[in-house]
Each structure stands twice: as C-alpha cells, then as structure tokens.
Structure 1
Amino acid sequence: MTLKLDNLAIYNKNSAGKRPLLEVNVEIKAGEVVSIMGPSGSGKSSLLNAIAGQLREPFKQTGCIYLNTALIDDLPPYKRKIGVLYQDPLLFEHMNVGENIAFAMVQNKQIAASQRQTRIAAMLESVGLADMATRPVHSLSGGQQARVALLRTLAASPSAVLLDEPFSKLDINTRGQMRKWVFEQLLKRQLPTLMVTHDKQDAIAAGGRIIELPPC
C-alpha cells in the first residue's frame, strides 16, 4: 500500500495573490513515516484535512491524492480508509475504553460483531492496558489515552494514517515511549504514514524522510 500526493497544493481563497500555502509531491511507501515540518500557518493541518477529505472553505486544493493506484480525491471521508491521530486523544467521554475502540470496529465491516470483544481485549493487552476495557476514559493517564486513541484509529483497519502533532501534549518521559510504540505499530502493520510536527525529535524518531516547509 502506498499514499501518493501528486503535486498536491493547498490554497487560501482569502489570501492575496495565487500563491499556494504549500505544495507537496511525495509517494509514501508501506511502513514509511514521512514527516512535514513548518511554522504555524504554513498549511500543515490543511494538508491533512485535504487528504482525509475534510478540507473546508476558504481553503481549496489542486493536484491528486492516490491510495495505491486509486484516485481518492472525490471520495467522501468515510470511504477513503484514512486514519487520523490528533494531538488530543478525542476519546468519547460518554463511552468506556472498550466502547471507544468498538465504535471504530463498527465502521470496519471485516470484523464480525461476535469477534469484537475478543479483538478489543487482545489489542488492549498488546499495549499494556489489559483489563481496562470497562474503565472510564477520563480515569486514564495522558499516555494511556494516547494509546487508546491509536488503537481506535487502527481498529478501523485504515490503509494509510495521518499524524497531526500526535505527541505534543505528552510529558517528556511519556513522549519518548509513545513515539517508539506508535512508530513500531505503524511499521508492523505496513501503513504509509504522513506526520506533521513542530518537533524535530519527532521527525527524527520517525526514521523517514523529512520535508521542511518554508516560512509563509
């Protein structure tokens, strides 16, 4: 599986002139993490929104987005099979840990309802959160919530993953552990991944190519 951005450019219709916020031309291979670094306002989050099918006015895009050889530009977000992990876990507070993961599994038609609880238990055990399926999410530490957020993303069986400053709100010790664990999970599943970050250490830890955007 590959994620290809073919001369993808993001524009702000309200800006003077016709110069794009950013232009990216890259093919991300299975298991590779490509990092994009740039100052605030350089269009990094808008780029991820474009790939996920969430770009809104006043922004627009040109160029093409391919998942493997399939053009996905005109597909709605729920059909793109793109997983997104944000800097905030964005877990559902009215659901417990297991229910948060199960929510993503409902979207994944490959997992039968009878298999979900067994699959959830195995996923939680694999990240050191065994027996926490019934825990309220607000009772978890920041690192635990981050792990559950990634499990929920992976539970939908995405074909590619986008990381939006995923470690920026973690303390230093937890951050290093989460970097290692997240990148191991993505490599294990051979998922092409695009990460935007302000932190050079995040990009170095990802081990892939680094694209640095110029100042606006």
Structure 2
Amino acid sequence: MTTGLTLNSLAISRHGAPLVQIDTHVPAGEVLSIMGPSGAGKSTLLAALTGTLADGFTMTGRVILNGRDITDLPTEQRRVGILFQDDLLFPHLSVGENLSFGLCAGGTRLQRKARIIKALNDIGLAGFFDRDPANLSGGQKARVALMRMLLSEPEALLLDEAFSGLDPELREQIRALVFTRARTRNLPVVMVTHDPAEAEAAGGPILKIG
C-alpha cells in the first residue's frame, strides 16, 4: 500500500471553466504548501479533498489516501482533518466537551474523559476540561482546535490559512506544534498559505497555482 495522499490528475472547474489542475503525491509526514492569489482556487482544492465542493464546481480525477480511494466517499468517511484560520470552537460547550465532539467512538464515558484529560495534558492545558472557550487566549483556542481534530484520528491534515490570524510569535509556536504532531502521526499535510515564510518553514514542496 502506498502511504500518503495522492491527487491523481485532479482537475476542478467552476461553471465549466478550468480552475485548478494538480497531479502530485504528498508522502506521510510531509507538508505540501499551496500558494496563489485570492480566487486562484486554493480553498476550493481543500473543499474538493474534504468532499464539500460548493454548487457550480465540478471535479475529475481521483483522491487516494493511504491506498484507499476516497474520491466519492462522504465527508465523514474520508478521515481527512482540516484546520481553518478561525478556531470554530463550539461556544456553548466547555473545552472538554469540545474535545469530546472530535473523539472517535468507543470506550466508556470514564475512558473517553480520561483520553480527553490526557489530550489536554499533551497540549499544556491540564485542568482546562471545564473551562469556557470564551475565556481562552488565541493560542489556547488554536491548541484545542488542533487536538479536537487529532482526536478524530484523521489520516491526512489540511490547513486553510490556519495560522494567519495569530501574532507572529504565537504563529511560529502553533505552526511548530502542528507540524510536529503531523510528523509524529505520519500525516500527509496540504497547507494553503499566502505567506512565503510559512511555506518555507513547512520544509516541503511549494506549489503555486493561478
């Protein structure tokens, strides 16, 4: 089985007009950075990989993840995680309940809570289970969003300008955390960014579109 994410002759059109064409392989643990001007189709490419293309867009080609063809699978069966610029935490749930939302099924209620407590310890947020997300700093919210996504046990990670809303020092810290976690878990990563320094920091190939 070939590990990693393969985009096999992927072509996306908008109302019949070609928008994005890509044919590449992202090995496990490597980051592919996608750069290009606004409207070039960067976020649309990520939507195609998650199975959430908007009306008016069509896609041809195949998406293969760890040897599994996920092209026609519904979003929830693809095992593809995504992080956005906004953390998108649920404001009506505590930090622990937010993490529980991402947790894969299985285990007793106590076992699931123990996994969440360990996950909070792993990202330096011990004791935050009952915290209100509104009271977290930007960096803390980013770490919770990352761990919620990782608890869903994805096989690939997509980053849609995920660090652009953070101040420079915090951006570097969270970016290093995300890349380290992705390498540790052997996740292929596709990152959309406007920042050349961010693409350089990823250490992988850079693909310019548009």
What TM-score do you get using the length of structure 1 for normalisation?
Answer: 0.93
Aligned twin of 2:85: 87
Aligned twin of 2:203: 207
Q: 1:52 is matched by which residue type in structure 2?
A: T
Unaligned runs of 5+ in 2: none
Structure 2 counterpart of 1:198, from 183, 194, 201: 194
Aligned twin of 2:6: 4
Q: State yes or no: 1:136 paired with 2:132.
A: yes
Q: State yes or no: 1:57 paired with 2:55.
A: yes
Q: 1:142 is matched by which residue type in structure 2?
A: G
CA apart distance, 1:48: 0.4
Distance 1:176 1:96 in 2: 26
Query: Structure 2 matches for 1:23-102, cutoff 5 A?
Result: 23-102=21-100
Closer/same/farther in 2, CA of residues 112 and 77 from structure 1, 3 Å limit:
farther
SS at match of 2:178: helix
**Aligned-residue RMSD, C-alpha:** 1.2
Quick check: 52-61 or 109-118, which moved more? 109-118
Distance 1:2 1:114 in 2: 34
User: Deviating runs (4+, > 6 A) in structure 1?
Assistant: none
Q: 2:187 is matched by which residue type in structure 1?
A: L
Q: 1:42 is matched by which residue type in structure 2?
A: A
Structure 2 counterpart of 1:120, from 106, 116, 131: 116
Distance 1:4 1:113 in 2: 37
Structure 1 counterpart of 2:156, from 153, 160, 169: 160
Q: Deviations over 1:78-132 (max 9, x none)?
A: 0011101111000000001110010111xx2355543211111111111111111
CA apart distance, 1:68: 1.7
Unaligned runs of 5+ in 1: none
SS at match of 2:18: coil
Q: 1:196 is matched by which residue type in structure 2?
A: V
Aligned twin of 1:186: 182
Aligned twin of 2:172: 176
What TM-score do you get using the length of structure 2 for normalisation?
Answer: 0.95
Aligned twin of 1:22: 20
Closer/same/farther in 2, CA of residues 59 and 191 from structure 1, 3 Å limit:
same
Distance 2:123 2:148 in 1: 12
SS at match of 1:123: helix
